[in-house]
Each structure stands twice: as C-alpha cells, then as structure tokens.
Structure 1
C-alpha cells in the first residue's frame, strides 16, 4: 500500500495542473486523458493504469501507462456479464482479483504478474463513458482508502473531460454525452456580442471579456440553417441562430463536432483521379509499347517493361482488395480459433519484406531477432499488414528517413513494430487514424495520396486474429506502429 501523504506529491499535482491548464485553454482530448491515466498510476501506487472507453457493444483501451502500456489499442469485452457485474454494482471504486476479468474481459492480467485490480467507472452528466483501471503485482495487500478515493476522483475528472467534449469520446460509436451547459451567445441587431457564457469560452478559447461588446467572431448561418466552422485550434463546431421572442436580439448556440469526414465526391475523385488511374495508365502504356514495338525492342527493354507491368498490376490488385475489404461487413467476427495456426513470425516477416516493392525495401532497416516464440494467426495476411504499415510510414517520411522493423515477445504476445522518423502523429490522432477514410492531411493540403484505408484494414485484419494494433508518437520524432498477436504457447487463443 502506498502512503497517502506521499502519493499526492509534486509529480501528481504537476500532472493534474497540466491537464487542467489544457482544459482551460480549450485543449484536452486524448492527450489530457493519457496524462490523467499516468497520474492515476502515480497516485494509487499501481504497477500500471489504463482507461477503457465504452463503445456500442464493447470497449477499447485508449490510454495506458506503466505495466499496462502493452494493452494500448486492445479491444476489451466490457459487456461480458462477469465484467459488467463487477463494475455496475457496489461501491464507487471496486477492488477484485484480476482473474475475475481474465478471459471474460480479454486482458489476462494475472498471466503478466498483475494479480489485483481497482476499477472505477467514469461518468459524464449521468452517462457512463468508460472505466479507469489500476493494476497491482501483489494479490493480497489491500489498497488504502486514500488510493481508492484518488482513483474515484480521477475517474470523475475523466468524466468531466468527456462532458467538455474536446475530442472525447474518441470513437464515433462511443458514449453520447449530453453537455451540462450548451455554448451560447446573445447578439444585438448589429451582431455585437451582448452575452457569452462560460461553455462558449471553453469551446472557442475566446474569453467573455474579449467577446462581449465586439462583433461576433465567427460566421453566422442564414435562417434556420446550421453551419460548420473550423476553429484556429483545428477543432470544428456547429453554429445555429434564432430570434429572441419579443426582441431583435439574436440567440446563437454552437457545439463541438468531430472534423467532418471527406464526402463521397471527394473519395470518388481521389480513387479515380490518382489511386486507380495511375497504375492503369502505366500498365496500358507499357502494354501498348510492347504490342506496337515488340520487334524493335531489345530483350532487356522487353523484360524491364514486363516487370513494370507486373509491379503495377500487383499495386492495382492490392488497391482493389483494400476497397473490397473496406466496404465489406464491418461486424465480421473474429476468426475461429481452430483456423489460426502457429507460425514463425521472424521467418514470415522476412518473407513479407521480400514482397515489398524496391523503394520500400530500400528505405526499410530490418532488425529482427534470430528467433521468437511462435505466434498464432493467419500467416498469409502478414504481408498485407506489413505493406500497409510501411506504406503509411513512408507516406509521411522524407525519402532519406529510415523506417525500422523490429520484433520481440513477452509472456503472452509476440509483437513487431514499424517505426519512422517522419513528421510524426499528434497524440489526439493516434486512435482516429484507424477510422475508415481518415487522413492526416485533408482536401487540397493532402500531398501524399491515398484514401485513408490502410490503417483501418490493418486493425481489422489483426483484431480478427485476436490481436491488436496501436500507434504512438516516437520519442525524438516520428511514429511507432505496434502489432501484437497471441503466442502459440499461451493458455489459449484470444487470451493475450
């Protein structure tokens, strides 16, 4: 047990102050949530801490620290009766052996030396949004009341962050939280601000003293229409207006909204304008050259042309497969355990590297161990997963920046990582990047091509094999993509 007086030391208060300052300045979101989880680990003396956000029918670890950092990105079965019973009945903070959420929750903590768990549900305005976990290596020593109170407080603090929005919930099928107070403004006939409530200041980062008496700082819709406006911070909000009964004043309400996805027309243009047209044009050009000038071409020129046609045809085939997978059944269940066979990850990764194109192989530095425990999964899909991760890394890296492939294992999983030194990924984007059609760059700013399917398909392929995938910023710059699959010698598939 951690002494309550020492638990609330300078690092804890500094962490809370950091998140609070971000919230006051209009920030927060996933970075603030991650920092809150790190503070939870410190203040409770836990070996590791994690937050699982509720989704429509399950949950996902969206922030993790300490000995639970490996679980980042892992789906968790929160609707299993054993798990829901532990979380929904009894005291505000529950403490129980980790074995009770073993296979049911999908975390398998005991096999990793974490035998005891504290958990507290976070709620925003009466709506449950997720669960804050703290895990311990001992099995019997009870947690002090101060540590329990601290975990309950931090769960409430996380609930407050969800109530403010700011990029939470992370997923579109996450908990729908009704704001405690809607952002609101009152304008006179010349559209000068007469009133500006605190939620409006929080959403827009424009304090009341700056707004009142000045022209409304954002565009206004006509009539009953609703318009979307992008704030300087990059967040989006929706704006509506209505006349105040009995006066000429104009009431303005606005609320946060996710960044709008590219519409169907943009996607169609992207697909037909570059992703499909480029390989088709090259294939047709080289094929016509071979047909029209076969006799005049040297053997070397013919061979080179045929190699280009083959390479471009493989690219086209891969693109078509991606599109077909992307529009397939999103709710497809995990692959049956009996169809997942043991295989050598190191050997399979080496073969997948050979399948990459010449440009990708040239930029890839391979640092694989001589051997690893066998994993369990679909070996054939590994080439697709690696190709998508390397393609994504190269897309956002200068040509001269190396991409690194490494691999390893722990007691429950075998993993590999694709790391780059590119432009990096913002912490608030590490989960959104797995959404279908999501792009780091959008619209006219997008210079790297693609339609945002690669990471979506990677997560889909890996999770159907009882594994999981995550992204995180790389220390020193760049991004790390990590894939974890269950070890073949674990107690059972799907229990990593």
Structure 2
C-alpha cells in the first residue's frame, strides 16, 4: 500500500496543477492516475453523470479501453441499497453487462465512490483489481479521499463538468440570498454556496458580491471566471430587505452564442461551394465553344467535386438538426472491418488517399454494427486528420482489437487537441476557434455525427493528444463473436 506521505505529496502536486490554471479534464485525468498509484490497482476511471446517463471521461491502466464509453446509471454500483460511501464488489457479482465486460478483461474486483456536489451526484470514481482479495479499509479510505477531492474540483466550476450541456449545478435549486435594508447579506442557502463558490460564513454580513438590480428587474451578469448569472430581486414585506435569486445561465448563454455562430458559419460554408459551382457552370455556358476538351473535362470534374462537398455539408446539417428520435435503429450485422475500411478509403479523393498510411491486418474478428454508416465515420475522421495537419503530412490508419471490441485508430501529426477539449469536440456545432478569424473551415458537425453513429451501434469513439504532437482518434465496435453486452 502506498505510504501516507506519498499520497499527500500527490495531492499537493494536484493542487499546484489546479492552482496554476490547468483544471478541468486534465486535472480529473491526473487524479485518476494518482488513484491507481495510491491504491495500487490495475486501473482507475472517472465517470461523469449527465441527463442522458454517464460517460467515462478519464481512465488509466486497465480502464483505458473504456475511455469515451457511455455508462448506464445502473452501473454506478452506488445506490440507496448501499449505505456505505465506498462500494466494493466482485466483477462476477455485477448484474449488468459491465460484470462480464470487466471479468473478460481480467478484472476480479473493484471499488467505487460516488462524487457529489451539494448532494447532487456528478460522477463516479472507480479502481479496478485483478486480484480477488478484499481491497481493505486503507484502500477504501484512500479512494473516498480522492472522491472528495474530485467533488471539490467540480464545485470550483473551472472547466468542469466536461459535458457543457449538463453543468453540475444545473439541476440544483436556484441560489437564494436575503439582503437586508443596509445591503448586507442576511441569508445564504446551500445552492448559493455552489453557484458563487463562497461559503455562507464568508458571505453573511457582507455586501452581495454581484450587482443588485432594482426590485422587479432581471439582469445578466458575467462573473470573473466566465460564467453568467441571471439576477432577480423581489422585495420582502414591510421593507425588511430583498430576496435575490441567482441562477447560473452559463449554458443557455453559450447555446445562444452557438446558434448565432452556427447561422454565420453555415451561411459562409454554404456560400463557398455554391459560388464555385455557379462560376464553373457560367464558364461552361458562356464559353463552351472557346474551351477545348481538356478544359471542359476539368471544369466538369470540379463541378462534380464541389457538388459532392455541398451534398455532404447539407447531409451533415440535416442529420444534426434532428435528435434522431424518428430514425429506425440500425440492424447490427457482422461485417469484415478491414475490408469495409479499405472500401471506404477507395471512395475518398485521390489526394486524400495518398496521405493515408494503412497498417491493417488481413484478418480481424468481425465487427457487429452497420457497415454502410462506417464510411461516414471513416471519412470524417480521415478528413479531420488531414485538415488539421500540415500539407502532405501522413495520416496513420491502424487496427485495435481486444477481448471485447474491434476497431481502428486514425493518428495524425497536426496541431493536436487540448486535453480539456477531448470531450467538447463531440458537441454539436462546437469549435475550438470562433469568430471571423478561424483558421480552419467547418460548422462543427463532423465529430458530433461520428459519435452519434458509433454509439447507435453500441460502440464508442474517443480522442486523445498524441505523444510528440498530433491527435489519435479511436473507434471501437462490439465483436460479432461475443454475446450481447460482452463488449
């Protein structure tokens, strides 16, 4: 078991990391790595909860395979039937498919602790062991300690939660503050502590730390950490003060900005191919007799290429506008993954194919999914890799297979992805750059559609920075030779 001094040193290093400004997902990933070392487990992971369930956002060791994977709330293992804060269970005793998945990868036992902020569950911290002996009280206490640290990271609201559409405080009650006639705070509820990041003891008797509008007015105020608050004031009877309601509207504000950006960017992205198509069409109509056969063929090929670009863009927009509720679920069937990838690669433009270095074996276990949609997934990942890489830079395509899944990796040597963005890139319309000075075109739909397509087939996709620069995208699908739920 790791010594107490080492655990304290690790926590100190994590604190310094956060204080230096590197919070959010990088801090959670570092915490997971520290957990694995502190409890001497074979792996560790962190699951973040959102309205649609959970997702593995950080993992190390024996849990790295699950990065990006959706997790059912039933797999949390921490519920009303467990009175203990830390739950310990053997993999074979887990009633959901998670038990088979872990046992198939050599995990015999795990311990888990639920992470809370103001009584609201925001995540789950787990440690995995290949040994079958009980973890022991010291390991359980250590995991609980790191779970509390994770809770503090989420309460700070600095880059967390990773799910931008599911802030940890969104489901909490509004922050309610009572201000006396003298402007001093008289009451400060628990939600105010979460929203403002200030305890009642630090707030009572002091002026309200945000602007105080007139009674009946609603104002929006931007905090120094970038979050937005909606402030509403009502009067107490008898002139005894005012009740101030503070509501975190950061996500609503972000969505409104995203909609405005989407309209602007989409207009630009649609205008470009349309302008080119019209230009070449006008050239052919007005100067047909002046062009030789080679020039006509070149113009026709460029028309076809731009028309294809326009068709793909429109298809992305139509796919992303709806929520998919009216679409029939694909029928999963076994298919040859290497052959499907090579077919999809052959459909890409010649210039794109030249940059792809293929390292695929002739034989892999068959994947279980929808082969037809794989071409869209593959094309989006390859196109993204090339777009964000220097001209002519090679893109490496390889396979990945383990006891439960089969898939492929796309690795580039481009600008890379920031650790805090590896989940946000899958959001609809999200882009790392905004405004008119963007270096890279696009409407922020490609990776959103990739994740949507893959997860409809019970698979998952993840992104991570590549060592020595670049990005690695990984797609995993269930193996066809396994039973349901064994991936």
Q: Which TM class, normalised by the smaller chain length?
A: 0.7 to 0.9
1:376 counterpart residue number: 368
Return the alpha-carbon distance in structure 1 between the equivalents of residues 89 and 218 of structure 2: 52
1:50–1:134 contact (8 Å) kept in structure 2 = yes
Count of paired positions = 468
1:334–1:463 contact (8 Å) kept in structure 2 = no
- Mapping for residues 62-81 of structure 1, pairs under 5 Å: 62-79=57-74
Determine which of 467, 470, 476 is the counterpart of 1:478: 470
Mind listing any 5+ residue stretches in structure 2 that lack a counterpart? 180-187
Displacement of 1:107:
7.4
Displacement of 1:376:
1.2
Q: 1:203 to 1:87 in 2, by over 3 A?
A: closer
Return the alpha-carbon distance in structure 1 between the equivalents of residues 128 and 326 of structure 2: 32
Give per-residue Cα distances to partners, 1:64-94, cap 9 Å, x unaligned. Answer: 1111001011001114xxx466543221111
2:45 counterpart residue number: 50
What's the RMSD between the two structures over aligned residues?
3.9
Give per-residue Cα distances to partners, 1:261-282, cap 9 Å, x unaligned. Answer: 43434322211x3321222222
Give per-residue Cα distances to partners, 1:304-348, cap 9 Å, x unaligned. Answer: 222212211211111111111101224578936xx2111121121
Return the alpha-carbon distance in structure 1 between the equivalents of residues 309 and 405 of structure 2: 31
1:355 counterpart residue number: 347
- Mapping for residues 67-216 of structure 1, pairs under 5 Å: 67-79=62-74, 83=75, 86-90=78-82, 91-101=84-94, 103-105=96-98, 108-138=101-131, 140-171=132-163, 172-173=165-166, 175-176=168-169
2:483 counterpart residue number: 492
Return the alpha-carbon distance in structure 1 between the equivalents of residues 329 and 3 of structure 2: 44
1:290 counterpart residue number: 284
2:387 counterpart residue number: 395
Q: 1:332 to 1:158 in 2, by over 3 A?
A: farther
Q: 1:112 to 1:402 in 2, by over 3 A?
A: same
Determine which of 444, 447, 454 is the counterpart of 2:446: 454
Return the alpha-carbon distance in structure 2 between the equivalents of residues 146 and 342 of structure 1: 46
Displacement of 1:108:
1.2
Instruction: Give the secondary-structure state (helix, strand or coil) at the position aligned to 1:59.
Output: strand
Determine whether 1:305 maps to 2:294. Answer: no
Return the alpha-carbon distance in structure 1 between the equivalents of residues 419 and 99 of structure 2: 25
Determine whether 1:37 maps to 2:17. Answer: no
Determine whether 1:412 maps to 2:404. Answer: yes
1:294–1:302 contact (8 Å) kept in structure 2 = yes
Q: 1:395 to 1:226 in 2, by over 3 A?
A: farther
Q: 1:289 to 1:100 in 2, by over 3 A?
A: farther
2:101–2:485 contact (8 Å) kept in structure 1 = no
1:424–1:474 contact (8 Å) kept in structure 2 = yes
1:341 counterpart residue number: 333
1:189 counterpart residue number: none
Return the alpha-carbon distance in structure 2 between the equivalents of residues 287 and 176 of structure 1: 54
Instruction: Give the secondary-structure state (helix, strand or coil) at the position aligned to 2:101.
Output: coil
Q: 1:447 to 1:347 in 2, by over 3 A?
A: same
Displacement of 1:178:
7.8
Displacement of 1:390:
2.1
Instruction: Give the secondary-structure state (helix, strand or coil) at the position aligned to 2:344.
Output: helix
Q: 1:470 to 1:152 in 2, by over 3 A?
A: same
Instruction: Give the secondary-structure state (helix, strand or coil) at the position aligned to 2:474.
Output: strand
2:86–2:112 contact (8 Å) kept in structure 1 = yes
Q: 1:335 to 1:495 in 2, by over 3 A?
A: farther
Return the alpha-carbon distance in structure 1 between the equivalents of residues 310 and 408 of structure 2: 27
Instruction: Give the secondary-structure state (helix, strand or coil) at the position aligned to 2:436.
Output: helix
2:254 counterpart residue number: 260
Displacement of 1:45:
1.5
Q: 1:333 to 1:466 in 2, by over 3 A?
A: farther
